[in-house]
């Protein structure tokens, strides 16, 4: 894949025209950029980096995808992360340990293996419910890893989203606000999904802590993100949390009915484990 082809792929995935992608021609002219996508013009390194930063595209992700071997590595990482997420939602720590064994046997570099094993350890840690069993050193290591990154790109945002439970509510609100301010106007679907997941976690943690004030910014930001097939899972969860907050404040049954509707949607779409988890959460919070 060429630089021009890859730039075009990212631009289209963000739903942007060439004019928007080049900051109205401030980075490079639209006519010059059009030829870059066609591989007729060569873009300078400085302009390429500025273009990637402007469109919130990770430099590592972009340059790794230019090489076929690195592209296969990227795909391998994606598959592992999907397996981790599925095992987490099933609360299956044994499966997470199996994934860790797969990583050890893979052909990844030692550095990549250490990073992926750390993430698996984080998933296992996040399943724990007994504070006495918490690994404080591991939690601090993961928190440090998130903020060693110079900017909040997609990978860092996703990592933060996965381990938000390691922070207290106020720190989560501060960090989430910073991320949302930076990316709230993004057209990148992957980042939109990560933002919705962060907002969902903020609402869930706030409900769990019985502290549901000052959440309008998060709810309004979520509503600003378009509902599409890729975001529906997260939007349905936000619909539940938003209505539960309204029910706790106003005690009107219409909001509670909406909550049950959201739970049934997950169950009817064969997501019984996640749906039943939310069902237990809902019953516990309305009976409190």
Instruction: Looking at the structure, tell me whether residues 96 and 130 fall in a common domain.
Output: yes
Helix runs in the chain, H state only: 3-13, 18-21, 30-37, 45-54, 59-65, 68-89, 93-105, 110-127, 136-148, 154-162, 169-183, 189-208, 216-224, 232-250, 253-268, 272-286
Check residue 74 and give its pLDDT: 64
Instruction: Looking at the structure, tell me whether residues 84 and 119 fall in a common domain.
Output: yes
Instruction: Looking at the structure, tell me whether residues 185 and 275 fall in a common domain.
Output: yes
Check residue 101 and give its pLDDT: 83
Asked, for residue 61, whether it belongs to a domain, the answer is no
Asked, for residue 286, whether it belongs to a domain, the answer is yes
Check residue 150 and give its pLDDT: 57
Residue with tokens 């930063």: 53
Cβ atoms 36, 4 nearer than 8 A? yes
- 10-residue mean pLDDT profile of the chain (288 residues): values are 86 88 92 91 85 84 65 66 77 84 77 84 86 90 73 74 86 90 86 92 93 93 93 95 94 94 94 89 85
Asked, for residue 200, whether it belongs to a domain, the answer is yes
Instruction: Looking at the structure, tell me whether residues 286 and 175 fall in a common domain.
Output: yes
Show the tokens assigned to 50.
Answer: 């500025």
Instruction: Looking at the structure, tell me whether residues 212 and 262 fall in a common domain.
Output: yes
Range of the domain at 263: 169-288
Q: How many domains does the chain have?
A: 3
Check residue 70 and give its pLDDT: 54
Asked, for residue 125, whether it belongs to a domain, the answer is yes
Q: How many CB atoms are closer than 10 A to CB 131?
A: 7
Cβ atoms 4, 39 nearer than 8 A? yes
Check residue 234 and give its pLDDT: 94
Helix runs in 14-67, H state only: 18-21, 30-37, 45-54, 59-65
Instruction: Looking at the structure, tell me whether residues 203 and 141 fall in a common domain.
Output: no
Check residue 241 and give its pLDDT: 96
Instruction: Looking at the structure, tell me whether residues 175 and 287 fall in a common domain.
Output: yes
Residue with tokens 């005690």: 251
CA distance 65 to 5: 11
Of 118, 149, 166, which residue is a domain's last?
166
Asked, for residue 287, whether it belongs to a domain, the answer is yes
Check residue 122 and give its pLDDT: 87
Asked, for residue 276, whether it belongs to a domain, the answer is yes
Asked, for residue 60, whether it belongs to a domain, the answer is no
């Amino acid at each position: 894949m060429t630089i021009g082809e890859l730039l075009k792929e990212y631009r289209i995935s963000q739903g942007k025209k060439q004019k928007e992608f080049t900051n109205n021609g401030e980075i490079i002219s639209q006519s010059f950029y059009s030829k870059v996508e066609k591989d007729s013009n060569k873009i300078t390194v400085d302009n390429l980096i500025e273009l990637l930063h402007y469109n919130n595209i990770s430099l590592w992700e972009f340059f790794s995808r230019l090489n076929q071997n690195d592209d296969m590595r990227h795909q391998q990482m994606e598959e592992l992360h999907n397996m981790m997420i599925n095992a987490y939602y099933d609360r299956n720590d044994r499966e997470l340990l199996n994934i860790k064994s797969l990583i050890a046997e893979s052909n990844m570099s030692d550095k990549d293996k250490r990073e992926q094993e750390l993430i698996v350890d984080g998933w296992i840690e996040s399943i724990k419910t007994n504070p006495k069993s918490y690994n404080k050193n591991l939690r601090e290591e993961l928190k440090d890893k998130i903020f060693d990154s110079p900017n909040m790109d997609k990978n860092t945002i996703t990592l933060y989203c996965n381990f938000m439970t390691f922070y207290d509510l106020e720190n989560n609100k501060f960090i989430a606000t910073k991320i949302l301010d930076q990316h709230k106007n993004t057209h990148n679907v992957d980042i939109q999904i990560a933002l919705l997941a962060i907002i969902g976690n903020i609402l869930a943690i706030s409900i769990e802590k019985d502290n549901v004030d000052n959440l309008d910014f998060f709810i309004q930001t979520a509503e600003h993100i378009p509902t599409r097939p890729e975001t529906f899972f997260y939007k349905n969860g936000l619909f539940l949390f938003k209505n539960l907050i309204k029910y706790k404040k106003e005690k009107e049954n219409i909001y509670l009915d909406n909550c049950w509707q959201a739970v049934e949607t997950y169950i009817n779409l064969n997501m019984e484990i996640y749906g039943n988890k939310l069902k237990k959460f809902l019953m516990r919070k309305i009976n409190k």
